[in-house]
Structure 1
Amino acid sequence: MNRRRTAAAVLALCAAGALTACSSGPAHPGAAAVVGNDRITVATLQSHVSAFQSAAVGDSAAQQQAGVSQKTLALLVSEQLVDQALAKEGKSVTEGQVQQVEAAYLQQAGSAQALRQAVVDNLFLAPADLEIYAHLQAGQVLLLQAAGVDPSSSTADSALQQIVAKASGEIGVTVNPRYGSWDAKALTLAAADQPWLKKTASTTA
């Protein structure tokens, strides 16, 4: 089996991992997003995106991928939201749990190099951000368990979606419009609308 295809299957994003709601109102100055009282700064987001771009050098498919900033911000916000939801339950993700998830990915990918490539090619993240991704996955499992849901059950995805949506409404999530908006139907960060591009096109036609 193609090694990259196998790694892609291992690292497919869980549909219920994305946010389903956002709070109204503008993001704080200098913030790419705000989750509760925690800010994810534009500088932090840009550092993650720059790390991805450096890792993707020479990989034309990864370099041409659109929406890297949105995908990265979705991960950072989701991690914050899940962590804060867990804190309300008196729980937190341990380093051991993160390492366990990473070890499972590594075993299934076959090698560290294959796993690294899958993170870049299929998640469009910097290799170092695998830790954040694994942290999120471990946190989602804990949220399900806290709600009395078996993470391996057929209803886990829909249950997690409801849990995260409720947490989003209670904690509050604000996204800088520069990076788009949360799409509840698609469970992802929709691309930012840029009406000035349409205006420019119409005036120059």
Structure 2
Amino acid sequence: MHRRRTALVLSAALVAAAPLLAACGNDAHPGAAAVVGDQRITVSQLESRVQEVRDAQRAAVPDDAQYARVVATTGSLTRDTLHGMVLDRVLQRAAQDAGVTVTRNEIQQMRAGLEQQAGGAAGLETAWLQQYSIPPQRLDDNLRLQLQAQKLAAHLGTDTNQPAFWKALSTASGELHVDLNPRYGDWDAQKVSRVDAKTPWVREVTAAGTQQTA
């Protein structure tokens, strides 16, 4: 469960695919993909982040057919990216509440160690792109968040796979009152995860159409 929910602890932020709704936005927050506390994640910001990944994938896979397969296997990239952007802010709030900070030197040390394991900087960038859809220019940001997660867990006397860690994130999530644009689903503060939007109107419209043609 935790491996699916976050890319912060060396696992992909994969979320089940959900149908895009016809609504063009959240009426309460026009133009926003999500509102996290007093911060808006705009649709344009989300689209820009997704494009960064697509550009990196295209640069890594110049063959058209192979690139098409990469795109097909990451079809939920937009929703996954938004999930990660929201989760980043939730983790930052939880770390802030706990007084946890990360230094630039710690990020550099972590990156150096990972590069050594991956056979160099290029190998690490490729691995993060392929496994977690993190483009090279976002790698340090992701490592900072991973360090935040690890240090927060240590501060709590637990690790990132244990309920105590996720309870802290759930508390932070509740404090921030995360609000997603309906086209991307809903946010479950208890699970600290994006969930598919419930669309009973789809069944109602379908049922009505069936009755009229009967």
TM-score in terms of structure 2 length: 0.69
Alignment partner of 2:182 out of 177, 184, 193:
177
CA separation in 2, counterparts of 1:127 and 1:193? 35
- Are 1:98 and 2:107 an aligned pair? yes
One-letter amino acid of the counterpart of residue 75, structure 1 = G
CA separation in 1, counterparts of 2:198 and 2:69? 24
Q: Could you tell me which runs of 5 or more consecutive residues in structure 2 were left unpaired when the two chains were aligned.
A: 1-8, 15-25, 62-66
In structure 2, the CA distance between the partners of 1:182 and 1:150, relative to structure 1 (3 Å rule), is same
User: How far off is 1:156 after superposition?
Assistant: 4.4
- Are 1:75 and 2:84 an aligned pair? yes
One-letter amino acid of the counterpart of residue 139, structure 2 = L
* Count of residue pairs the alignment pairs up: 182
In structure 2, the CA distance between the partners of 1:86 and 1:111, relative to structure 1 (3 Å rule), is same
CA separation in 2, counterparts of 1:141 and 1:42? 30
One-letter amino acid of the counterpart of residue 170, structure 1 = E
Q: Which residue of 2 aligns with 1:40?
A: 41
User: How far off is 1:60 after superposition?
Assistant: 3.6
CA separation in 2, counterparts of 1:132 and 1:75? 12
One-letter amino acid of the counterpart of residue 102, structure 1 = R
- Are 1:162 and 2:167 an aligned pair? yes
In structure 2, the CA distance between the partners of 1:13 and 1:56, relative to structure 1 (3 Å rule), is closer
Bigger relative contact order, structure 1 or 2 (CA pairs below 8 A, ≥6 apart): 1
User: How far off is 1:45 after superposition?
Assistant: 1.2
In structure 2, the CA distance between the partners of 1:27 and 1:102, relative to structure 1 (3 Å rule), is farther
- Measured against aligned partners, the alpha-carbon deviations of 1:145-169 in whole angstroms (never above 9, x if no partner) come to 332x144xxx743321111112111
Q: Which residue of 1 aligns with 2:11?
A: 12
Instruction: Select between 163-172 and 99-108 the one with higher mean Cα deviation.
Output: 99-108
8 Å CA contact retained: 1:26, 1:175: no
User: How far off is 1:50 after superposition?
Assistant: 0.5
Q: How does 1:1-205 map to 2 (within 5 A)?
A: 11-13=10-12, 28-57=29-58, 58=61, 59-64=67-72, 65-147=74-156, 149-151=157-159, 156-182=161-187, 188-191=193-196
Percent of paired sites with the same residue: 34
SS of corresponding position for 1:56? helix
Instruction: Tell me the C-alpha RMSD between the 2 structures.
Output: 3.3
Q: Which residue of 1 aligns with 2:22?
A: none
In structure 2, the CA distance between the partners of 1:197 and 1:189, relative to structure 1 (3 Å rule), is same
Q: Which residue of 2 aligns with 1:20?
A: none
In structure 2, the CA distance between the partners of 1:134 and 1:72, relative to structure 1 (3 Å rule), is same
CA separation in 1, counterparts of 2:100 and 2:163? 22
Q: Which residue of 2 aligns with 1:5?
A: none
TM-score in terms of structure 1 length: 0.71
User: How far off is 1:69 after superposition?
Assistant: 1.1
- Measured against aligned partners, the alpha-carbon deviations of 1:6-59 in whole angstroms (never above 9, x if no partner) come to xxxx943489xxxxxxxxx97622221122112222221111100111111233
SS of corresponding position for 1:166? helix
8 Å CA contact retained: 1:62, 1:121: no
One-letter amino acid of the counterpart of residue 111, structure 2 = E
One-letter amino acid of the counterpart of residue 165, structure 2 = L
8 Å CA contact retained: 2:87, 2:192: no
One-letter amino acid of the counterpart of residue 142, structure 1 = K
8 Å CA contact retained: 2:32, 2:43: yes
In structure 2, the CA distance between the partners of 1:56 and 1:36, relative to structure 1 (3 Å rule), is same
CA separation in 1, counterparts of 2:11 and 2:31? 31
